[in-house]
Every structure is written in C-alpha cells, then in structure tokens.
Amino acid sequence: MADPLIHVENVVAGYVPGVNILNGAELILGDGELIGIIGPNGAGKSTMLKALFGLIKISDGTVWYRGDDVTGKKANFLVARGIGYVPQINNVFPSLTIRENLEMGGYLRKSGVAEMIDEVVDIFPRLGERIDQRAGSLSGGERQMLAMGRALMMEPSVLLLDEPSAGLSPVLQDQVFDRVKQVNSTGVSIIMVEQNAARCLQICDRGYVLDQGRNAYTGTGEELLHDPKVIELYLGTLAKAR
Amino acid sequence: MMGLVPSASASAQTEGESVETTLLAQTEAGGDKSPVEGVEIIVYDAVIVDRQIESTGAEVGRASSDATGYVSVALPAPGQYAVELNVDTLPAGVELVRADKQILPVEARIGQPTRVLFNLAEGDAAGAARNKTSDSVLTRGARLLFEGIIFGLIIGLCAIGLSLIYGTTGLVNFALSEQIVFGALVAYFLNSILGLNFIIAALIAFVVGGLGSAALDLGLWRPLRKRGTGLTAMMIISIGLALFLRFFFLFLFGERSRPYEQYAVQTKILFSVGPVDVLPKELIIIVVGLFLLIGTAVGLRRTKLGKAMRAVADSNDLAASTGIDVDRVVTSVWFVGGTLVTAGAVFFGLNSQINWLMGQQLLLLVFAAVTLGGLGTDFGAMVGGLVIGIFTFMATLVVAPELKNVGALLVMILILMFRPQGIFGRAERIG
Amino acid sequence: MDWNSIISNSLRSGISQQAIIFALAAIGLNLHFGYTGLLNFGQVAFMAAGAYGVGITTNTLGAPLWVGIIVGMLAGVVLGLLLGLPTLRLKADYLAIVTIAVGEIIRLVVRAAVLSDTTGGSNGINGFANSFQDWNPFNNSATYGFRLFDRINLEFSGADVWELLVGWTLVLLSVFVVWRLIRSPWGRVLRSIREDEDAATALGKDVFRFKMQSLILGGSFGTLAGIFYAVQQNSVQPDNYATQQTFFALTAAILGGLATIWGPVVGAMLFWIILSFTENVLIELIDNNIMPDSIMERSQVGPVRFMLVGLTLMLLMIFRPQGIFGDKREIAIDERK
Ligand SMILES: Nc1ncnc2c1ncn2[C@@H]1O[C@H](COP(=O)(O)OP(=O)(O)O)[C@@H](O)[C@H]1O
Ligand SMILES: [Mg+2]
C-alpha cells in the first residue's frame, strides 16, 4: 500500500514538560481525503494539529509525511513541504491589509503570488471587495475566509483547519462548510477540527473522536454519525433530535 | 561613606585653569554698565549634558568680585563645573535679569581661564532688560520650534527603534539607552580618534550599531526566548544589561562630554529662514533623519521583509505557520532598530555633545514618544517623537529650561490615563 | 594587600546606614513585586518624598523634626495615591514606565533653581536634623564595639551607633509588619492577585483596592528609607534620588529572594558587602601597583563596582531569579501574557 499523506503515530506531546496533553494519539490522512476530528472541549484536538504542524514539542511517537519522518520539524519547513495551517483563534494578521495577509500566505513562493491572489479571490469574492482594508476590520466570518485563503496561497497538498466555523452564525457556518468541501474537491486533502460535530461528520469522509488525548472512536463520517455510543457521549441531544 | 552618585574626579593637576567673570550691572535701560563689587561666585564639580547641568558635586572654590567687578576662581583641572552667583551677596537694587541663569554650566579649558557671563541690572533697567528678552517671543518661538523639530527627529528615530523591537518581541528594552551611547561612541571613536571624516564615521557607526544590536539578539535575547524566559524577567534583565553597559562606558570614556570633530566648531550659518539660522549640521540631521524615518515606514509597507516584520509583530505563531522564519525576522528587526537608534544617537551627539549619560537622558523621552504614539506602531512613534521634541523645546518659553523634560513626562502620564493605547494605537477587534 | 582593612570595611558596609536604607527600600519593593506582582520602578520617588517632606517641613517651614517625619510619611502616602490612581489599572509595562517617569519628574523639580527657596535646588537642604543627634544617648567622643580576633575593626563612634540602632530597629519593625500581613487573609489576597488577577476579581475581590494598599504600604517603607537617609545625613541631595537607586534596591531584593520575609534585608546587606569588598580589593590592587594604571585607575573603581551590580542583576534573573532564599514557583516573572 502506498504511504498515506500524513500518519500520526502514537504521539505524546504537551505544552509544559511533564504534562502530556496527547497520550498516544493516532491519525491517518489519505490522499484527497477530508477527515474530521471531533471531541469534547479540552480533548486535545487543537493540540493534535499543533503537534503535527511542529508548533509544540513532541516527546514520543512519530509524524510521517509522504513516508518521511517529519517529527519535530519546524512549521516553516512543513509549509515549504506543502502543509497549510489555519489556527483556531487569531488566525489573521490584523494590522496587515487583506492583500498583505494573502501575500504572507505566499511568503515562500518564488513567483506567481499575484496570480494566486486572483485565484483565492475567485474562491472568496468577499475578500476581493475589501482587498486593501486592514484585516483587523473584518468580521468573524470574513476572517475565516481570509485565513483559509491565506493557507491556500502556497497551494498546499494538505490543509489543517482548526474549528473554521467557531463563533459564526448558522448561515455563515454553512458557507464555510461549502467552501471546505469546494477546496477539498480541487484535490487538497483536509484535516478539520470541529466543535459542530454533527455538521462536520456529514461532510467528512472519515472522522476521529478524540478524548483526553487519545483516539476514542474512528470510522467513516456516516458510521460515527449513527453510532449510538458516539451520539450519547459526543453528539448530544442536538444530534439525536435530527 | 561611599557616595551613591559617582562624583567628578580630578585626575592630573594642571596649571592655570580658572573660571572668571566681570560683574557689570546695567544702571538704566539702554545705558552704561557699572562694576559690582563684593559679589560671591561659587564653583562646584558638575556633570553637564547638552549644555545643561545634569548634576552637581562638591564645592571647588569661591571668591568675591573686586572694585572692577572682576572675580576669578582657580580650578583643580579642566572639565565640567557649575558656577553659581550668590544672589544674597548682591548689593541692594541689583538683580539678575534671568533668575534661571543663577547657575551656569562651564566646560573649563586646559591651562587657561574660561569666562562666564552673568547678566545684572538695577531696578527699572532689570525690568527693561527682561522685556527685551520677552518682546522677541515670536523670534524665540520660531527658533525653539526649529530646535524642537530637530530634537523630535532624534527622539523619533530612537522611538521607532524601541517600538519595532517591542512590537515583534514584546520586550520593553531598557538597554536601549546604552545602545544609544554605544552608537554615539562608535562614531566618536572613528571620527575623533581614528580621524575619519564625520559622514563616513557616522555611516559606519550606523552599521556597527545595527550589528551590535543584532548580536545582542543572537547572543542574549534569542537564547532567553528559547528557554521560555518571561517578558517581565527579560525587561529586568535589560535593566541589568543597561546598568552594566552604562558604567562600562563610564569606565572607558570618563565623565566628560565631548564633541565630534569637524562639526564641533562649525557655526557658520548656511542660510536663514526668517529668524531661524540653519547650521550645516542641522540640515544634515533634518535631511538624513527624515530620509531614515520615511525609508523605514515605506520599507515596512512595501518590502517583503518589512511586511514579514509587521506580520511577526501581529503574531509570532501565525507568522511561523505561513512559512516565515520568525527567528531571522526578529534578528533583522534588532538590526534595523539598532541602526535607527544609532542614527538618533549620532545626531544627538552632533547637535550637542556625547557623554555616558546621554542614553539615560533620552530614554524616558523615547518612552514618552512611544507611549504617546501607541506602542508598536511605527507612524505613531515618529509623530510621538516630533511632538515630544517640539513640546520640550517650546516649553522653555514658559518654564525654566531645566524643567523642560518634566512637561513631556507629564504629558505621557496624562495620555496613559485617558488613552492608554496612545494617540495612534488601535484597540483591535478580537474574534 | 591589607586584608584586615578590606574585610572590616566590607563587614562594616554590610551593616552600614546605606545597607539600612537599601533594606527598607527593598522591603517595600518586595511587597510590591514579590508579593503583589506590581512593577514599581519608582521606589526612589517615595524615598525622595520622605526626604524632602522632612527637609522642607523642618528647614523651610521651621517645624520640629518629629513633625517633619510625620509630614514625610504622609507625603509618601499621597504620592502612592497619585501614582496608583492612573496606573494600577494599566498593563504592567505602563506601571513600570510611569513610576520611573514620576521618580524623574520629582528629581528634576526639586533640583530646579526656580524652586531653590523651598527645595534648595541642586544644593539640596542641609542641617535640618540636628535634633536627631540631640536625642543620641551615646557618647559621641567614645567608641563602641570591638576588634574581631584583634584584627577586624568593628568599632563605631557614638553617632554611628545611634544611627545604626535606630535604623536596624526600623528594619526589624518593617520586617515584622510584612511578616504579620503576609500571613493574614490580606496577604493571601495579594498573592492571589500576583498569581492570577482575573481569578482574584472573579472571587469578588476589589483588586484595584488591594493593589493600591500594597503600593502605598510598600511605598511607605521606601518613604521611611528616604526619611532615615535624610535625617542620618542631616542633608537632602536631589541627585541621590536618581532612577538607578530603585534598580540597585531591586537588585538587592532579588539577590536575597523575592517573596521571602528576610530576603530583602539579607540582600541589602550582601549587596553592600559585595560592593565594598570589590571597591576595597580594587583600590588595594591599584595602590600596591599590582593592577597597572594602563588597565585601571583609581577613578575607575566606582564604575567597575556598578558594572558588577548590573551583571549581578542580569545573571540572577537568568540563572537564579529566586535569589538566595526564594522559591521559584513564587516568583511572578514568567506568568505575563
Ligand atoms: N498554550 C497552552 N499552554 C498550556 N496548556 C494548554 C495550552 N493550550 C491548551 N492547553 C491545554 O491543553 C488541553 C487541550 O487543549 P486543546 O487542544 O486546545 O483542546 P480542544 O482544542 O480539544 O478544545 C487543555 O487542557 C488545555 O488547557
Ligand atoms: Mg481547540
């Protein structure tokens, strides 16, 4: 079998020495897949993305990318190798204009920055209207779009999204999920962390349920969505009502 | 008992230094002057910065004027002194025209008398003499405005340096004061000791100042960041560094103020704008200063590195996740900041003189400028610098020159009370 | 090398009037920074308030010394209120900068010639505390104390003994006050503010009021230091109240250990022992021509010992921020942001 795009193997990591947040987390991302990570608050979902993106120290386990061991590599190395990351909060540069934010997304590009900005603006037309305004003046939904657009500037093979729908109105949430699906359909593989678990599982190929830094359940989006245990523990009454 | 303030110390005893003056009082407005006898002059050790007395030490000697009004006090060595006219010994009716000129700074020359001048007048004549100084208030205002702009550019250069570093690292860098002294000393060494042309010396100093600053980042601040040292701890470390360097510079350079060569005595007026005479050195400061300030602002907005610096200032983590090598950008910021600070320092030295206290003297005003403009904004620091510079000089129209910094510091405190983000700072929307 | 005199000078410095002044100032800084997490970089402003409070009241206004001392203490309290109102709600950086600025404003104002009728300008105020020596029960022409092992001179004049006795009594009283307060519920609130201001607010504590009380009380120890300095020297000199005094006192506090009861006192003693030892050794080296003039002259000894202070502060903060007695977990320096 060909190597998966990303393989997180038994990773142990945390923020301060001696306090592990991830205790042997696992994850596999195949080429072209859209997978979701769900789980209760504080389960370590964001920490998982940060560990795999080289923002925090991994004390045990391995991260594989296209068959190479990239454990402990710095973020700017992974960006150059084709991984894009959109953090959960503070995900735009507020004092830079929208155009400058996108330019920063293409920081490592040798050429084609202007063309790529045009492409991103095609996907997110709203950004084009305000291209020379400061990102600090954008609304929450617009910031999500900008953050995603910025991550696309490097034409990544993999996009890591940390709760892209958090804090948005239902209408805007729908828009975000549509865009994620759209980006995925252009061939970008995506790992998405979501609070809105039910909605996430609906569009994901596969899902992981994370609890206390460990994988609790794994399956296709449909399976998890209908697994009584998962419904009971993680999807809550909202999902049952559906 | 050990003194807490290092006092001026006389090293080699040289023959013939003295301070002298002839005390003459104007008897009627526009009329003749007559000698004043029996008035006492007292001389103290002093530290003089920017033609102002920074601190005074022990008494060196005193003497009273003779029948011709002449008085002389012998000095132990060349150097800096403060000369006070004891107003209690003035004969009835005779007064100082300017009460704030009772103590005068003196830089005593080697082996010869140094003259000072006290402006005395009798009764009505004193009033008239005072009016003479006050009816030229417009002229004085114009001159002060001009000097204020120059000083403002100097403060602004240092303020941008401080602000860039604060913006990208969060560090309130107290050692900036000694980066100022370092830059000024490098230029002094190249210019006055190696004898290089001042312009060349200044340009080399800009680069050396930048490299020194970058070296501090590589050797000290970056390792501390890697260890996870907190920002408060780093601020205190910068204070320790400042103390260490300050007294190291005193050790090397001594207490005396010194001018740069070539421009030291250059007082030939280049041209005049109304009542304002422009000296060549002032023109240099304005042209190069503006060039550097505007160049920095444009560079931060137009170049890739400049944009990366602003991105890092907004968020280190986010910048890293777009592929920016944050460490390298931060070191570049230290370089640029160090260069700008050195430019401010060299111009300050050019405008007055350099000495080991100049950094400390400027630092609080730089803080005031940065606070006024809003921490972390380059444009704000620039405007803040100009406002503080102009304000300190114009303030001397109404307060004694020795109090001119007080106003600027008070303004800073008021701004913090009513608009903590500064005039140009923005409270960002989060989320 | 005269080791006997080096050692006795160093020991004498460790218990000298200067050590007392630094101990008092450092006790205050410890309350501010060590226990409350307040970054007061203007302790010297409190010292100046006390010193000039006494000087102006007794000399310029002609009141008796004890009235001057009371006025001096009140001046410190008023300064604390003025300083705290605009700054205690701001970020820590701003408190630091404003307190430094206020210290400098006070120094510039009191040394201004236009105010010399009141403050003495750059000459300061002299000879206002003669009655302090009038109260001296010891004989000024006798010497007290002993020679350790017949070599180390620990003998003091009557005037010195009187000053040291009063000074160290003040230090002990101050330590006692801090010790009682820190063990009280009030002290626990201060520490909770240091650990997490928001959590303290959430528990219903009026954080601003506690910070203000801490600022004023800690400032009062600084005020006391200034008053003692002025009375003991019988003189107030504006340039003794320069910004760096605060940093020297802070170094002493950190050296001993922040957030400990005895840290600031031991730190201040050690600070002066080290300073005096360095000075005396260097002077001996120079005078005995062991250190050539090309490397160092006598006039350069002063700068070298203050370089040492800066270096000590740096190295302490990098390698041992808890100082000699402190507990690393109690040092409020790594929590910010
Ligand atoms: N910067 C940090 N420093 C220390 N602990 C953190 C940090 N960020 C998160 N944590 C802790 O890590 C755990 C997991 O957090 P996170 O991964 O953000 O959870 P999730 O994204 O699943 O809600 C939580 O207990 C949280 O308190
Ligand atoms: Mg999260």
Q: Which residues of B385-413 are buried (b: 16+ CB within 10 A; e: fewer)?
A: bbbbbbbbbbbbeeebbbbbbbbbbebbb
Encode pLDDT of B182-214 as tens digits.
999 999 999 988 988 888 999 999 999 999 999
- The enclosing H or E element of A34 equals strand A34-38
Contact B324 A107 (CB under 8 A): yes
User: Residues of C with CB below 8 A from B402's CB?
Assistant: 108, 111-113
CATH number of the domain within which C246 lies: 1.10.3470
Tell how strand A34-38 and strand A206-211 pair up.
Answer: parallel
Nearest CA in chain B to C113: B100
Q: Do chains A and B touch (3 or more CB pairs under 8 A)?
A: yes
For residue B134, the tally of other CB atoms under 10 A from its CB is 10
Which band of pLDDT confidence, cut at 50, 70 and 90, is reported for residue B75? confident
What does the pLDDT profile of chain C (337 residues) look like in tens digits? 788 889 989 999 999 999 999 999 999 999 999 999 999 999 999 999 999 999 999 998 889 999 999 999 999 999 999 999 888 888 777 888 889 999 999 999 998 888 888 888 888 899 888 888 888 888 777 788 777 777 777 788 888 999 999 999 999 999 999 999 999 999 999 998 888 888 888 888 889 999 999 999 999 999 999 999 999 999 999 989 999 999 999 999 999 999 999 999 999 999 999 999 999 999 889 888 888 877 888 888 889 999 999 999 999 999 998 888 887 777 755 544 3
According to CATH, the topology of domain B138-418 is ABC transporter involved in vitamin B12 uptake, BtuC (1.10.3470)
Considering only CA atoms, which of C279, C278, C277, C219 is closest in space to residue C249?
C219
Q: Which residues pair with B53 in a beta bridge?
A: B48
Give the rounded distance of the alpha carbon of B165 from its chain centre: 21
DSSP state of C63: -
Whether the pLDDT of residue B259 is over 50: the answer is yes
Confidence of residue B2 (pLDDT cuts 50, 70, 90): very low
- Summarised one tens digit per residue, pLDDT across range A8-60 is 999 999 888 778 999 988 999 999 999 999 988 888 999 999 999 988 889 99
Q: Does B412 touch chain C (CB under 8 A)?
A: yes
- Residue C320 backbone dihedrals phi, psi, to 5 degrees: -150, 70
What local confidence, expressed as pLDDT, does residue C5 receive? Answer: 87
pLDDT of amino acid A6: 94
Average pLDDT across chain B, whole number:
84
How far off is chain B from A101, nearest CA to CA, in Å?
Answer: 8
Its sign, for the CA torsion A145, A146, A151, A154, is positive
- Ligand 1 atom 5, closest CA: A15
Using a 6 Å cutoff on CB, does residue A50 contact ligand 1?
Answer: no
On whether the CB atoms of residues C29 and C264 are closer than 8 A, the answer is: yes
Cβ–Cβ < 8 Å for C120, C46: no
First CA to last CA distance, chain A: 38
Is the minimum distance from the CB of A107 to ligand 1 under 6 angstroms?
A: no
Q: Alpha-carbon distance A57 to B312, whole Å?
A: 21
Half-sphere exposure of B126 (CA within 13 A, CB side): 16
Asked whether the beta carbons of A83 and A53 are under 8 A apart, the reply is yes
What is the SS3 assignment for A85-119? EECCCCCCCCCCEHHHHHHHHCCCCCCCHHHHHHH
Would you call B323 and A76 a contact, using CB atoms and an 8 Å cutoff?
yes
**C155 vs B364: CA distance, rounded Å:** 44
Partner-chain residue, chosen from A93, A95, A154, that has the shortest CB–CB distance to B323: A154
- Which pLDDT score is estimated for B137? 76
Q: How does strand C143-148 pair with strand B271-273?
A: unpaired
How far CA B211 is from CA of A34, B89, C330, in Å, comes to: 48, 56, 37
Instruction: Give the 3-state secondary structure of residue B24.
Output: strand
- Residue ranges of chain A whose pLDDT lies below 50: 237-242
A/C touch flag: 3 or more CB pairs below 8 Å: no
Task: Name the β-bridge partners of A161.
Answer: A86, A192
**Contact B406/C109, CB-based, under 8 Å?**
yes
Q: Residue C62: inside a domain, yes or no?
A: yes
CATH architecture type of domain B16-120: Sandwich (2.60)
Closest C-alpha to ligand 1, atom 19: A42
Helix (H, G, I), strand (E, B) or coil at A74: coil
Cβ-Cβ contacts under 8 Å, B322 against chain A: 79, 104-105, 107, 150
The DSSP element (H or E) to which B107 belongs, if any, is strand B103-108
Name the residue with the closest Cα to ligand 1, atom 9: A47
Burial class (CB in 10 A: 0-12, 13-18, 19+), C46: buried
How far is the C-alpha of B140 from the C-alpha of B378, rounded, in Å?
A: 31
Q: Which member of B310, B319, B431 has the closest CB to residue A140?
A: B431
- Residue A74's alpha-carbon distances to B15, C34, C281, in angstroms, are 68, 37, 51
Give first-to-last CA distance, chain C, whole Å.
52
Contact yes or no for A237/A210 (Cβ under 8 A): no
DSSP for B352-379?
S-B-TTHHHHHHHHHHHHHHHH-TT-HH
- The pair of three-digit structure tokens given for residue C285, joined into one six-digit string: 């080296």
**From the CB of A101, is ligand 1 less than 6 Å away?**
no
Domain that residue C217 falls in: 3-141+148-331
SS in 3 state form for C278-300? Answer: HHHHHHHHHHCCCCCCCCCCHHH
Residue of B nearest to A49 (CA): B321
DSSP state, residue C115: G
Tell me the mean pLDDT in the region B264-277.
68
- Coil, strand or helix at A83: strand
Domain spans, chain B: 16-120, 138-418
Q: Is A56 on the interface with B (CB under 8 A)?
A: no
- Mapping DSSP to helix (H, G, I), strand (E, B) and coil, where does residue B48 land? strand
Residues of B in contact with A14 (CB under 8 A): none
* pLDDT beyond 70 at B364: yes
The secondary structure of B154-222 as a DSSP string is HHHHHHHHHHHHHHHH----TTHHHHHHHHHHHHHIIIIIS---HHHHHHHHHHHHHHHHHHHIIIIIH
> Measured between CB atoms, does C195 come within 8 Å of chain B?
no
What's the number of domains chain C is made of?
1
- State if residue A20 touches ligand 1 by the CB under 6 angstroms criterion: no
Owner of token pair 């001996």? C284
Nearest Cα neighbor of A235 from A206, A204, A205, A200 is A200
Question: In the prediction, which pLDDT does C157 show?
Answer: 86
Kindly provide the ipTM of the predicted complex, given to two decimals.
0.93
The gap between the terminal CA atoms of chain B, to the nearest Å, is 60
pLDDT on residue C26: 97
In this prediction, residue B429 carries a pLDDT of 32
- In this prediction, residues B155-179 reach a mean pLDDT of 94
CA B22, CA B65: separation in Å to the nearest integer? 8
Residue B358 has pLDDT above 80, yes or no: yes
Distance CA C237, CA C72 (A): 15
Q: Is C120 helix (H, G, I), strand (E, B) or coil?
A: coil
The dihedral sign for the CA sequence A12, A16, A19, A21:
negative
Cα–Cα distance list, B265 to B261, B262, B268, B280, B353 (Å): 8, 7, 9, 11, 11
- Which of the residue ranges B149-153, B318-322, C175-179 would you say has the lowest mean pLDDT? B318-322
Q: Is the distance from the beta carbon of residue A46 to the nearest atom of ligand 1 less than 6 Å?
A: yes
C161 part of a folded domain: yes
Write down the pLDDT at residue A241. 40
Which amino acid does the sequence have at C42?
Answer: G
pTM, two decimal places: 0.83
C-alpha to C-alpha distance for C244 and C25, rounded to whole angstroms: 13
What does the pLDDT read at residue B374? 74
Any idea which of B97-111, B243-257, C71-85 has the lowest mean pLDDT?
A: B97-111
The pLDDT score that the predictor gives to residue C288 is 85
- Chain C nearest-CA distance from B192, in A, is 21
Could you tell me the pLDDT band of residue B4, with boundaries at 50, 70 and 90? very low
In which band, very low, low, confident or very high, does the pLDDT at B127 lie, cut at 50, 70 and 90? low
**Higher-scoring residue by pLDDT: C175, B273:** C175
As a whole number of angstroms, the distance between CA A154 and CA A152 comes to 5
Identify the three-state secondary structure at position A81: coil
Instruction: Give the residue whose CA is nearest to atom 16 of ligand 1.
Output: A44
Cα Rg of chain A, angstroms: 17
Domain contains C205: yes
Residue A191: what pLDDT?
A: 96
Contact at CB, B251 and C307, closer than 8 angstroms: yes
Residues of chain B positioned with their CB less than 8 A from the CB of C159: none
Q: In whole angstroms, what is the distance from residue B67 CA to residue B71 CA?
A: 10
CA B293 from chain center: how many Å?
A: 19
Distance from CA of residue B396 to its chain's centroid?
15
Looking at per-residue pLDDT, the higher value among C42 and B53 belongs to: C42
* Ligand 1 neighbour A209 (Cβ under 6 A): no
| Longest CA pairwise span in chain A (Å) | 51
Quick check: CB of A196 below 6 Å from ligand 1? Answer: no
Atom 3 in ligand 1: which residue has the minimum CA distance? A15
Q: Residue A192 has which token pair?
A: 């998405």
Under 8 Å between Cβ of B403 and C91: no
